Amino acid sequence: MGIDDPDAVATALAVGYRHLDTARIYDNEAVVGEGLAAGLASSDAARDDVTVATKLWIDDLGGDDVGPAARESADLLGVETLDLLYVHRPRGDYDPETTLPALDRLVDEGVVRGVGVSNFEPDQLDRAIATLDAPLAAHQTELHPLFYRPELLSHAREHGYTVVAYSPLAGGRVRDIDAVRAVAEAHDATPEAVAIAWATAKEPVVTIPKASSERHLRANLAAADLDLAPEEIAAIDAVEREEELFPE
State pLDDT tens for residues 120-144: 999 999 999 999 999 999 999 999 9
pTM reported for the whole predicted model: 0.95
Q: In the prediction, which pLDDT does 165 show? A: 98
Helix axes 66-77, 96-109, angle to 10 degrees: 50
Beta-carbon contacts of residue 148 (< 8 Å; ≥ 6 apart): 237
For the chain, percent of residues with pLDDT exceeding 70: 99
Q: How many residues does the chain have?
A: 248
At 183, the amino acid letter reads: V
- Residue 49: pLDDT over 90: yes
Would you list the DSSP string of 206-239?
A: EEE----SHHHHHHHHGGGG----HHHHHHHHT-
Q: In the prediction, which pLDDT does 240 show? A: 85
Mean pLDDT score, 61-79: 98
Q: In the prediction, which pLDDT does 216 show? A: 87
Summarize pLDDT for 155-180 with one digit per residue, the tens. 999 999 999 999 999 999 999 999 99
- Residue 76: pLDDT over 60: yes
- CB-count burial class (<10 Å; 0-12, 13-18, 19+) for 248: exposed
| Long-range contacts at 182-186 (CB < 8 A, ≥ 24 apart) | 182/235, 183/228, 183/232, 183/235, 183/236, 186/232
Nearest to 95 by CA among 55, 63, 140, 59: 63
Which has the higher per-residue pLDDT, 191 or 241?
A: 191
Window from 18-27, 176-185, 212-221 with minimum mean pLDDT: 212-221
The whole-angstrom separation of Cα 82 and Cα 69 is: 12
Q: What are 235's strand-pairing partners?
A: none
Question: How many beta carbons lie within 10 A of that of residue 109, not counting itself?
Answer: 12
Helix (H) or strand (E) holding 137: strand 136-142
Residues forming the active site: 26
Phi and psi torsions of 223, nearest 5°: -60, -25
Whether 174 and 193 have beta carbons less than 8 Å apart is answered as no
> Which residue ranges form the domains of the chain, and what is each CATH number?
59-237 (3.20.20.100)
- Residue 33: pLDDT over 90: yes
- Residue 1: pLDDT over 60: no
For the chain, percent of residues with pLDDT exceeding 90: 88
> Predicted confidence band at 3 (pLDDT cuts at 50, 70, 90)?
confident
Taking CA atoms, 215 is separated from 52, 121, 143, 222, in Å, by: 23, 35, 23, 11
The whole-angstrom separation of Cα 158 and Cα 92 is: 28
